[in-house]
């Protein structure tokens, strides 16, 4: 008879099996019954700490939302996608006063060459032609573009090809001649582009760097 726990019978035989001969020769109903072991207590499960929302599970935060980063890479060929304009200002483009008519009336009046991305220029913003501290003309910008041939905006006998590259594509044919004095701020040399702010009353000021 297999015993579930160590048991010392009245004859002094401690064993995990009933090997006492005297106990084994007793009638079945008189054989001692070893006690069953007490079941081991189950470990108490740890309860999750409740969070402020009353749930035991830790609330996972979703992915951080962020604005997509706008491209500033200018096209290097006519197969490259041009970046969008995403700023909130207008732009002053410095030109020699002697070449004004070729910028606004010449065969190249619908574009201007650029070498870097005008990151603060707004979509459909104004492009002002600037000579010293004076704004002398303006037109709406359409987009960033690319041209294989970019000519200087000069008289026909003096113009030359400045090579392929990016451009500001303009609403050509809609140049407005004007004369606005930017004051001393308009004559200060700054690195990069000079950005302007045009208010609803058409007053134009230089944007603080």
Give the Cβ contact number of residue 8 at 10 Å: 12
Question: What parts of the chain have a pLDDT lower than 70?
Answer: 1-19, 21-30, 32, 34-68
Contact between 3 and 18 (Cβ < 8 Å): yes
Convert the pLDDT of each residue in 173-191 to its tens digit: 899 999 999 998 888 888 8
**CATH pick for 90-206 out of 3.30.2310, 2.30.130, 1.10.10, 3.40.50:** 2.30.130
Q: What is the pLDDT of residue 209?
A: 77
Convert the pLDDT of each residue in 164-175 to its tens digit: 999 999 998 899
Integer angstrom CA distances of residue 59 from 50, 56, 96, 117 = 10, 9, 64, 43
- Residue ranges of the chain assigned to CATH 2.30.130: 90-206
Q: What is the pLDDT of residue 70?
A: 85
Q: What is the pLDDT of residue 133?
A: 93
Q: What is the pLDDT of residue 68?
A: 62
Give the 3-state DSSP-derived string for 94-136, with helices as H, strands as E and coil as C.
ECCHHHHHHHHHCCCCCEEECCCCCCCECCCCEEEEEECCEEE
Q: What is the pLDDT of residue 173?
A: 82
Which 3 state secondary structure label does DSSP give 169? Answer: strand
Contact between 100 and 129 (Cβ < 8 Å): yes
Spatial distance between the Cα atoms of 209 and 206, rounded to a whole number of angstroms: 9
Q: What is the pLDDT of residue 190?
A: 81
What is the pTM for the complete model shown?
A: 0.67
DSSP 41-99: PPPPPPPPPP-TTS-SSPPPP-PPP-PPPPP-PPPSSTTSPPPPP--SBEEEEE--GGG
Q: What is the pLDDT of residue 45?
A: 59
Q: Please, what's the largest Cα pairwise distance for the chain?
A: 134
Spatial distance between the Cα atoms of 145 and 23, rounded to a whole number of angstroms: 107
Between β-strands 90-94 and 126-131, what pairing exists: parallel, antiparallel or unpaired? parallel
């Amino acid at each position: 008879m297999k015993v579930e726990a160590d048991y010392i019978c009245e004859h002094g035989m401690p064993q995990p099996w009933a090997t006492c001969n005297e106990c084994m020769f007793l009638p079945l109903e008189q054989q001692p019954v070893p006690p069953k072991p007490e079941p081991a207590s189950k470990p108490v499960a740890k309860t999750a700490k409740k969070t402020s929302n009353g749930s035991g599970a830790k609330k996972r935060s979703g992915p951080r939302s962020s604005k997509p980063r706008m491209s500033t890479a200018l096209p290097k060929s006519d197969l490259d996608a041009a970046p969008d304009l995403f700023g909130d200002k207008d732009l002053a483009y410095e030109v020699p006063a002697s070449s004004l008519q070729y910028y606004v009336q010449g065969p190249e009046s619908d574009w201007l060459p650029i070498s870097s991305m005008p990151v603060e220029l707004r979509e459909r913003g104004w492009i002002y032609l600037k000579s010293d501290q004076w704004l002398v003309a303006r037109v709406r910008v359409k987009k960033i573009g690319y041209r294989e041939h970019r000519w200087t905006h000069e008289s026909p006998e003096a113009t030359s090809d400045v090579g392929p590259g990016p451009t500001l594509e303009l609403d050509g044919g809609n140049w407005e001649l004007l004369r606005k004095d930017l004051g001393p701020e308009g004559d200060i040399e700054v690195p990069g582009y000079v950005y302007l702010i045009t208010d609803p009353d058409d007053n134009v000021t230089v944007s603080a760097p």
